[in-house]
C-alpha cells in the first residue's frame, strides 16, 4: 500500500533527462535494476522503524529493492517528475504488494521536509544528471539527522571496456558522455563520489567499486546488462547524437554493432559502478 | 627450504621483458604482490599433497603467497630467466622459511615435465608478455592432468581510470600499451582471458573481475597501488617511450604527474584485474 503524494514543484521538463521518459526507457531502467540488484544493494538494509528517504526515485526501479530489503523501514520516495512517480507507485504496488511508501513530488534542492527528518538517505543514478551535484548533496544533508547515513550509487561510463575492442563503440560511448555533459550532467561521476561527498560536508566517506563483468559463461548478464542495459542506453540516444552532429547515423550504427559484439560468443564486457556510504557528522 | 633447479634453455634476453629486470622493478613487483595479495589470491588454495606448477614465477612475488596459502602443496616454480629464479628463491627463503619449492629454468612452450604431471597450474602476469599466449596455454595444458585446474591472473591497462581525469595521463598509459604490443605482448589481455582459455582447449572457464579502487580513505592502497605499483610501472618505461618517439620527455612527465594527482588529497584511481579458473577436460 502507498500513502500520500505530497504536492511539489511544477513537473520536470522531459528534455532535461538525457535518457528521456519513454516506456522503453522505463523498461530499460527496470531491467537494469533487476540484473544489478544483488551487486548494488548488497550491504544496504535499514532497521525497522528507521526513516529513510529515497531522493530521485524515478520510475521506482531501485525502490522495489529498497522496500524488499528493508521491509520494516519507513520509506519516503521523492522525484521531480510526476509521471515517473506514478510509474514508481505502480511498479512497487505490482512487485511488492502491501509495501508502504510515502510518495512526494519534490525538487532535491528544495525538499519539503524538516531539518534532520530522516535517519538515512538513498540516492541512486541521480547525481549524474544534476548540474550541481555538490549543492544537491548539501541540500540533502539538511534533512538527514546528525549521525545518519547517506548512500549514493553511480556509474562511470569511462569504466566501460570490452572485447573485441572497437574504436566505433568507444566513440559512441564518448558521444553519450558528451550529450550528458551538454545537458548539465556528468556520466563520469562515479570516480569522484568521494571528493563530492567530502566537499558537501559528509564525513566517514567509504567508496566501494561494484564491477559488472559479462561473458558467454554468464549469459543472463550478457543479455541483461551488456545488451539490454548498456547497449540499449547508448542506442536510445542515437537520434539525439546524430542531430547534435556528434556522429553520422552510419557511425552510430557501427558503434552500437561493436557493443553488441561484446555480448557475442567470444565477447566480454566490463563496467564499474561505485557505492559510497557517508555520515552526516554529529553536531 | 628449496630443492632442485632443473637445467633449462639459454637465459632470457633482458630486453624481451617490457618492464626490464632491474632491482627497482623487482621491488615494484614485490610491492604490487603484497598490496594485492588478498584481492588476487582470494579463492586460491591447493590441497596438501597436490602437485602445483607456477608457470612464469618471475622474482617470486606471487610464489610467496602461493606457499603461504597452500603450505602442504608440492609447488614447482619455473621461469625463463635464471636471474629472476635466483631472486625468487631468495625471496621465498626470506619470506617463508622452510617452504619447499622445486625451481626449474624452463620455457613455457617447452616444459621439462611429463604429460599430466600436475594437478593444478598457476599463471600470473605472464600471458600479457607472450607473443602467443594461446600457444603457451595449450603447451601448459599438456602437463596438467585431465580434470586438473588452471588459474590465470592478468591485468588490463584499458581498465585504468582516475580523478582528476587527465589526457596526458591517459596518453602515457596508451604509450605503455603500445610499447608492450611492440615487444609482442598485450597489456589489454585481461578482457580476453575467456576466449583465450576456451580457444586453448580448456573447459568450465569462469572469469571474475578483481577491481582495485584507491582514494584518500585508503591511503595504503593509494600509495601501494596508485603510486608504487601503477605509476611506478609507467614511469619506468619513460626513457623507452621517449626513445621510441611515442612521447617527449616533457609530455611523459606531464602524464606521470597526472597519475600522481590521482593519489592526491582529492584523487581516486581504479584498475581491474581478471582471474580465470578453468579445467583441463577429462579424457
pLDDT in tens, chain A (283 residues): 323 333 344 554 434 566 666 666 666 565 555 668 889 999 999 999 999 999 999 999 999 999 999 999 999 999 999 999 999 999 999 999 999 999 999 999 999 999 999 999 999 999 999 999 999 999 999 999 999 999 999 999 999 999 999 999 999 999 999 999 999 999 999 999 999 999 999 999 999 999 999 999 999 899 999 999 999 999 999 999 999 999 999 999 999 999 999 999 999 999 999 999 999 999 8
Say if residues B80 and B109 touch (Cβ distance below 8 Å): no
Pairing, β B203-214 against β B268-279:
antiparallel
> Residue A134: exposed, middle, or buried by beta-carbon count in 10 A (0-12, 13-18, 19+)?
middle
Nearest to A35 by CA among A71, A10, A65: A65
> Does some domain include residue A261?
no
- Omega before residue B262 within 30° of 0, cis: no
pLDDT at B17 over 80: no
- Does A219 contact chain B (CB < 8 Å)? no
B59–chain A nearest CA distance, Å: 30
Q: What is the spatial distance between Cα A161 and Cα A213, in angstroms, rounded to a whole number?
A: 10
**A191 to B274: CB separation less than 8 angstroms, yes or no:** no
Which CATH number belongs to the domain containing residue A104 in this structure? Answer: 3.40.50.150
Q: How far apart are the first and last CA of chain A?
A: 36
Angle (nearest 5°) at CA B59 between B54 and B61: 70
Q: Which three cell numbers stand for residue B178?
A: 603500445
Q: How many cross-chain Cβ pairs, A to B, lie less than 8 Å apart?
A: 75
A16 in the Ramachandran plot: left (φ > 0), alpha (ψ -120 to 50) or beta? Answer: alpha
> Does some domain include residue B217?
no
**A215 to B209: CB separation less than 8 angstroms, yes or no:** no
> Does some domain include residue A118?
yes
- Does B225 contact chain A (CB < 8 Å)? no
- Does B134 contact chain A (CB < 8 Å)? no
Does residue B263 sit in helix, strand or coil?
coil
**What average pLDDT score do residues B38-56 get?**
96
pLDDT of residue B15: 44
> Does some domain include residue B130?
yes
Q: What is the ipTM of this complex?
A: 0.89
> Does some domain include residue B253?
no
> Does some domain include residue B166?
no
Q: How many CB atoms lie within 10 A of CB B33?
A: 23
The confidence band for B36, taking pLDDT boundaries of 50, 70 and 90, is: confident
pLDDT of residue B13: 46
**What average pLDDT score do residues B204-221 get?**
95
The confidence band for B19, taking pLDDT boundaries of 50, 70 and 90, is: low
Q: What is the spatial distance between Cα A101 and Cα A108, in angstroms, rounded to a whole number?
A: 18
Instruction: Count structural domains, chain A.
Output: 1
Which residue blocks in A200-231 are alpha helix, DSSP H? 219-221
**φ, ψ for residue B143 (rounded to 5)?**
-90, 0
List, in sequence order, every residue forming a beta bridge with A203; answer none if it has no partner: A279
- Does B154 contact chain A (CB < 8 Å)? no
- Does A188 contact chain B (CB < 8 Å)? yes
> Does some domain include residue B178?
no
Domain housing A138? 2-158+185-212+271-279
Does residue B59 sit in helix, strand or coil?
coil
DSSP state of B37: H
DSSP state of A269: E
Which residues, at least 6 apart from A235, have a Cβ–Cβ distance to it below 8 Å?
A: A256
pLDDT of residue A44: 97
**Pick from A162, A191, A215: CB nearest B194:** A215
Q: How far apart are the first and last CA of chain B?
A: 36
**Pick from A159, A161, A268: CB nearest B194:** A268
How does pLDDT run across B140-164, given as a tens digit for each residue? 999 999 999 999 999 999 999 999 9
**Pick from A195, A213, A270: CB nearest B266:** A195
| Most B CBs within 10 Å, among A160, A166, A208, A272, to test the B interface | A272
Higher-confidence residue: B14 or B177? Answer: B177
What is Dmax (Cα atoms) for chain A? Answer: 57
pLDDT of residue A6: 38
pLDDT of residue A36: 86
pLDDT of residue A24: 64
> Does some domain include residue B87?
yes
Say if residues A3 and A102 touch (Cβ distance below 8 Å): yes
- How many angstroms separate the Cα of B234 from the Cα of each of A41, A127, A269, B230, B263? 36, 33, 25, 6, 15
Amino acid at each position: 500500500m502507498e500513502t500520500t503524494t505530497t504536492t511539489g514543484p511544477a513537473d520536470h521538463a522531459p528534455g532535461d533527462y538525457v535518457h528521456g521518459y519513454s516506456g522503453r526507457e522505463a523498461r530499460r531502467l527496470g531491467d537494469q535494476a533487476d540484473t544489478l540488484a544483488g551487486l548494488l544493494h548488497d550491504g544496504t538494509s535499514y532497521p525497522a522503524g528507521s526513516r529513510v528517504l529515497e531522493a530521485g526515485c524515478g520510475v521506482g526501479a531501485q525502490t522495489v529493492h529498497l522496500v524488499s530489503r528493508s521491509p520494516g523501514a519507513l520509506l519516503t520516495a521523492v522525484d521531480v517528475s510526476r509521471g515517473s512517480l506514478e510509474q514508481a507507485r505502480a511498479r512497487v504496488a505490482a512487485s511488492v504488494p502491501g509495501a508502504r511508501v510515502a510518495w512526494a513530488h519534490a525538487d532535491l534542492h528544495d525538499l519539503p521536509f524538516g531539518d534532520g527528518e530522516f535517519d538515512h538517505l538513498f540516492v541512486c543514478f541521480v547525481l549524474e544528471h544534476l548540474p550541481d551535484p555538490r549543492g544537491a548533496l548539501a541540500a540533502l544533508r539538511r534533512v538527514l539527522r546528525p549521525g545518519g547515513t547517506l548512500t549514493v550509487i553511480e556509474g562511470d561510463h569511462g569504466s566501460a571496456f570490452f572485447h573485441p575492442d572497437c574504436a566505433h563503440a568507444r566513440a559512441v560511448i564518448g558521444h553519450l558522455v558528451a550529450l550528458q555533459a551538454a545537458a548539465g550532467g556528468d556520466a563520469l561521476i562515479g570516480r569522484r563520489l568521494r571528493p563530492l561527498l567530502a566537499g558537501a560536508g559528509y564525513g566517514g566517506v567509504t567508496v566501494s567499486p561494484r564491477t559488472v563483468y559479462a561473458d558467454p559463461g554468464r549469459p543472463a548478464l550478457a543479455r541483461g546488462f551488456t545488451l539490454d542495459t548498456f547497449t540499449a542506453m547508448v542506442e536510445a540516444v542515437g537520434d539525439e547524437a546524430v542531430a547534435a552532429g556528434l556522429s553520422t547515423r552510419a557511425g552510430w550504427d557501427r558503434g552500437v554493432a561493436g557493443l553488441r559484439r561484446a555480448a557475442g560468443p567470444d565477447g566480454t564486457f566490463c563496467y564499474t559502478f561505485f557505492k559510497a556510504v557517508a555520515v552526516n557528522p554529529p553536531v
